[in-house]
Structure 1
Amino acid sequence: MDDNSLVQQAQEGEREAFGELVRRHRSRMYGYARAITRESFLAEDIVQDALVKAFLHLGTLVEADKFLPWVHRIVRNQAFTRLKKTSARERAFSQLAPMWKDAGEESQEWGDLDRILDRLGRTAAGKADSQLTPEEAYMQKETLEILTGIVGCLKPRERRIFESHFFDQLSPQEIAGLFELSSANVYQIISRSRKKVMQERTRITVGSYMETRKDWGDMKTVIVPDHESFTEVQSWTTAADALYAMLKAAGETLSHPMVMGLTGHAFRLNIVPSSVHIAGPTAYSFAGVLSKGLENIGYQSSYVDGMSGTLGTNANLLDPSLLGKEAMAKRGINQALPEALDLIHRSLDRGIPVLAWDLFLPEFGLIYGYDDERHLLHAYECGKKDTLEYDNLGRSVKEEIFVLALADSAGTTFKQRLGRAMNMIVDHYDGREPDDCTGSVKGLAAYDAWIAAFRGGKIEPNGNAYNIAVVRDARTHAVRFLNEAAEQWPLAGETAACFADVPVLAHKAAQEYKEALEHFSVLKDLFPFPQGGDPNEPDASAKAISLLELIKEREQTAVGYLRELSDLLR
């Protein structure tokens, strides 16, 4: 019986027919996986996973005579997924790169990249007869087709220079002589060509990812249920708002102040020296701080980190046209986009929105839906709901991607949650947390940097006012969190005498933050957001310094109580 008949029978539920297809083609599948991974055991695992997917999605195969290419595609995608950091396509290309040298012809005969790729293809075919398995030859042919598509984005001269550098292995100086250009021009062309090729590679990868979803019948529209209830502005700390919404969707009943406190956001202070840049409140390691905050509550997380590690420009001071979708379309596709889309799809399919950075401006927001047919994400950020084309994720003003989704959760007691949070908060105040490369000063030392900035007289008014608004709001939540924690403590089942001081210490710390808030309110009136007042005017600066010194004094006392709590809950 031929494959077509077996496929049709298998689609009708005949397991024996599918078993026969497996017996016929399993060795080819293994050979293909082995050719990609170069690891026997990994290839076997990939084949097993691919067979499961093929069985589950066989009903989506429209043309029965395309079974073998279809199953090869599943194997390939499974292999690329399992290889994680090192792209199989890149490895395949690196293995092909030296092949043209074996062709027995001088490099001068290679007139353009198309001829090189054509010769590569013929050389690969020749080697396949004597040295390569059919699966390896198939993989090389596929790699060449992908490479041909990628370099098609280059202009003729760019392609010739790209060829000379990456295939003929000529130095920029040698290329400059051949093309009668300066070395500087050659460097620019090579750099520009590399960027174009990387862009095209990302575009093709996204296209392949979407084709795979289509092949598996996964193209759909998903909107997280009840999204209206959590797309609300709760605080000035947009990361905490997003985490609160995600946890709520996952079934957590924590209050917003409790989420702010347990994740450490109610106690954060990051100041960019000299200017008090508007990016200060978000100048920290997203991956380290956000994932640690969720761990405090008992959740693991998955994230895609495509951050640049730079502060960027104050978006409030930019031409509004630079923040629009037309401006996005002119920027390059972010290389982290394929991974980000995969994480977004997986989380939303579970009914949980995804935290995302810089959707429309440099703040945190939520992605709460997607539409595969229209290639649209449904997103919310800072009170704004809108759709975002798949390709525009990571093309906002900072051209960065960071998306985070909830993963596994483990049961935790309130004592464990509070203890972990206190440890994290004290570490932050002491300046012990992952480096973020932004140069911001964190914790209690940030007050000294803030005071020094006022003395320096170079503060950016809008940024300073924003920092005041964010920190003041955070401390409001700190007071609520500590009082709520003190009130909940008897309900946590921790009645041992040694823990009797927990609510007492929490209330004492809350009182210190409450007194600090009075000074923050005066600061807020001096430098209202968004106008910002005049922080560099001598009298205003002197008042601000006095207020910050009083705030620091109160917070130092509060941190003493938090340190006692941390020690007590260990």
Structure 2
Amino acid sequence: MKEIELGQSSIVDQNADESLIIERAQQGDHDAFSELVRRHRSKAHAWASGITQDPFMAEDIVQDALLKAFMHLGTLANVSRFLPWLHKIVRNQAMMKLRRGGPYGKERPFTSFKTGITSDRVDWEDVESILTYIMKKREKESDAFRSPEEQVVGKETLETIVGLFTCLNHRERGIFEAYFFKHLSPQEIANMFDTTKTSVYKTISRTRQKLQHERIRVYINEHLIQRREKKCMAKKVLERPSIYTERVGDSHFLGSRPSVTYCMWGLLQYTDKKGVTLAEVNALTGYAFCLNIFKETVHIGGPFIFSGEEKFPQALANLGLDVKVLSFLPVEPAIIADVLDTIHRSVDKGVPTIIWDLFHAEYGLVYGYDDNRQQLNALDKLKEASLAYDQLGKGKTSEIGLIAITEPNGIDRVTALRNMLDLILEHGHTTGSIKHGDGELSKGLAAYDAWIDAYRGDRVVPFFNAYNVAVYSELRQFALQFLRGLKEELKDHDWSCIGDAVRHYETVAASMQGLARLFPFPEGGDPKNAQNVEKAVQLLQEAKKGEEEGLLALKQLRQSLGNLQDH
């Protein structure tokens, strides 16, 4: 058992020989360990990224690896082997992460937890001893003589280590240690704590959640520390967005759909693009012409698919603005910190940020922040309220998504129309089906056939179906409005294809409205009734035929616009 005298910390010379810094870190000098972190964190992240090919997962791995390195630094016999030793820890952590809870190999486990430690000596194999040592040492020191960079690195390392364990109660710590470090089976742990395996599993799950929440809290605090050091504003609230102004009853069932383009239209009101209509936003992004149907159940997730696709940022760029998009990501500390940083930057520039699943599983807007209270000003279809920073990503879907304007891109009207039409034609003529977590997905014209097959196969879920009907009925109305406006805009060119497109999409829109009357949202109607199924199939066949003809007209328009630009 290695014991170390508690000594006084001192400033670390950044040019000092690394072996000396390692020796000081082994003696308990956390300034020295912070210097090691500063020197090698980027290398560790590169190693982890090389294994996982995921920068966000790599950041988590680096945090865990640094925690282990700090805990086990006293076991390193040859200080000249520090870098290979750290590399091995990072690699082991990465492989374990990829295996989702695989064995820790030959890592040395911690011993039992102790309480009431008062000595100024530390046992590097005992978690409580380490935490007590760190906290006492921090109380005796002053950050006055350390640079801001050294302070940030030191605080990030130490607060992560301290926070990850102090958020657990005594019993949770014991089960955590037995499962993750001693590698005992749930049954062995149940016997040890005189409980059941079910209780052990619940405790492990709860502990994971608490640790994840604590890590997010640490990341948020570090972000706020950096903002204070940069002397950023602590509070800013923009004028309330001009969306979701009316709520009646179950308000999340009301208002324009899909919420992503509605919120995008809301963002434009803070820019020089505020004259763009909601129909134009839906059309220029291609959303007004999309159709995504899950074959088996006509799943409610179909209308959300487009906003999660790789081409979505390019589609939004047709509005004249480049955007940053994060689509349906897992709730990881580094991701939450990035989202919060983007919100701060955007609101500071005078523009809200679109966030997924604030109070309801759709998109809403964040238009203000208060760092002192750690709260955001937010609204979506469900409600308007304050949202705590650490509640980002804690909605119904446990996913985080973001859309933020970065800068104008200067796209001209003809180019935007050409890009829009390319997107619409590619989507409309997509063949085959796509494997997705919610089932097998069909797009464009093929989606009509998938929808018809679902009706005929008695596989339609009423609520899901009614939601899809409501969304796509509204979208085709936007498509029709846009095409009518475009016909007027381009009337000097006398292109008959625009009039043809208007006529065909009138058929599509009318058929979709008929379907909406048959299956009202949210009631759902009765998609299992034979007469309703027959009528629904007829309406979808009419809509598909109209869409086929409409796409041919849009293809001719695309060719005409190409010729126009060439001249």
| TM-score in same-fold range (> 0.5) | yes
Displacement of 1:254 in angstroms is 2.2
Q: In 2, are the aligned partners of 1:459 and 1:535 still within 8 Å (CA)?
A: yes
- 1:534 maps to what in 2? 526
Q: Could you give the per-residue CA deviations for residues 94-145 of structure 1, whole angstroms, max 9, x where no partner exists?
A: 4335435459xx9799332776236668999xxxxxxxxx999996796355
- 1:266 maps to what in 2? 288
- 1:246 maps to what in 2? 267
Deviates more, 1:220-229 or 1:505-514: 220-229
- 1:163 maps to what in 2? 177
Displacement of 1:480 in angstroms is 1.7
How far apart, in 2, do the equivalents of 1:107 and 1:92 lie?
15
How far apart, in 1, do the equivalents of 2:201 and 2:175 lie?
10
- 2:379 maps to what in 1? 380
Q: In 2, are the aligned partners of 1:305 and 1:336 still within 8 Å (CA)?
A: no
- 2:314 maps to what in 1? 292
Q: Could you give the per-residue CA deviations for residues 170-204 of structure 1, whole angstroms, max 9, x where no partner exists?
A: 67687678667787766654444333211211122
Counting only pairs closer than 5 Å after superposition, residues 10-89 of structure 1 correspond to structure 2 as 35-38=36-39, 86=59, 89=63
How far apart, in 1, do the equivalents of 2:335 and 2:430 lie?
30
Is the counterpart of residue 209 in structure 1 residue 183 in structure 2?
no
How far apart, in 1, do the equivalents of 2:526 and 2:449 lie?
20
Q: Partner of 1:532: helix, strand, or coil?
A: coil
- 1:111 maps to what in 2? 112
Unaligned runs of 5+ in 1: 1-23, 44-81, 125-133, 309-331, 492-499
How far apart, in 1, do the equivalents of 2:304 and 2:382 lie?
18
Displacement of 1:555 in angstroms is 0.5
Letter in 1 for 2:412: T
Q: In 2, are the aligned partners of 1:164 and 1:175 still within 8 Å (CA)?
A: yes
Q: Could you give the per-residue CA deviations for residues 457-497 of structure 1, whole angstroms, max 9, x where no partner exists?
A: 24233332222221111111111212323333479xxxxxx
Deviates more, 1:282-291 or 1:222-231: 222-231
- 2:430 maps to what in 1? 431
How far apart, in 2, do the equivalents of 1:412 and 1:393 lie?
33
How far apart, in 2, do the equivalents of 1:247 and 1:508 lie?
31
How far apart, in 2, do the equivalents of 1:462 and 1:355 lie?
26
- 2:73 maps to what in 1? 99
- 2:98 maps to what in 1? none
Displacement of 1:361 in angstroms is 1.5
Letter in 1 for 2:219: T
- 2:142 maps to what in 1? none
Letter in 2 for 1:414: R
Q: Partner of 2:500: helix, strand, or coil?
A: helix
How far apart, in 2, do the equivalents of 1:410 and 1:207 lie?
34
How far apart, in 2, do the equivalents of 1:234 and 1:488 lie?
28
Deviates more, 1:535-544 or 1:182-191: 182-191
Unaligned runs of 5+ in 2: 1-11, 17-30, 45-54, 78-106, 116-122, 135-145, 247-253, 563-567
Displacement of 1:456 in angstroms is 2.4
Task: Report sequence identity in percent.
Answer: 32
Displacement of 1:516 in angstroms is 1.7
**Alignment CA distance shift 1:83-1:532 (3 Å):** closer
- 1:413 maps to what in 2? 412
Displacement of 1:218 in angstroms is 2.9
Q: Could you give the per-residue CA deviations for residues 412-449 of structure 1, whole angstroms, max 9, x where no partner exists?
A: 11111011111111222233899763333322111112
Displacement of 1:291 in angstroms is 1.4
How far apart, in 2, do the equivalents of 1:94 and 1:434 lie?
42
- 1:506 maps to what in 2? 498
How far apart, in 2, do the equivalents of 1:565 and 1:34 lie?
62
Letter in 1 for 2:555: R
Q: Partner of 1:342: helix, strand, or coil?
A: helix
**Alignment CA distance shift 1:231-1:292 (3 Å):** farther
Displacement of 1:385 in angstroms is 3.3
- 1:64 maps to what in 2? none
- 1:547 maps to what in 2? 539
- 1:561 maps to what in 2? 553
**Alignment CA distance shift 1:535-1:174 (3 Å):** closer
How far apart, in 2, do the equivalents of 1:83 and 1:335 lie?
6
| TM superposition score normalised by structure 1 | 0.70
Q: In 1, are the aligned partners of 2:156 and 2:222 still within 8 Å (CA)?
A: no
Letter in 2 for 1:382: K
Q: 2:241 aligns with which of 222, 227, 232?
A: 227
Displacement of 1:543 in angstroms is 0.7
How far apart, in 2, do the equivalents of 1:283 and 1:176 lie?
43
Displacement of 1:546 in angstroms is 0.9
Counting only pairs closer than 5 Å after superposition, residues 175-190 of structure 1 correspond to structure 2 as 189-190=203-204
- 2:302 maps to what in 1? 280
Count the aligned residue pairs.
466
Q: Partner of 1:218: helix, strand, or coil?
A: coil
Displacement of 1:223 in angstroms is 2.6
- 1:301 maps to what in 2? 323
Q: Could you give the per-residue CA deviations for residues 379-421 of structure 1, whole angstroms, max 9, x where no partner exists?
A: 2323843333333332222232212101132211111101111
Q: In 1, are the aligned partners of 2:300 and 2:464 still within 8 Å (CA)?
A: yes
- 1:154 maps to what in 2? 168
Q: In 1, are the aligned partners of 2:164 and 2:214 still within 8 Å (CA)?
A: yes
Q: In 2, are the aligned partners of 1:244 and 1:256 still within 8 Å (CA)?
A: yes
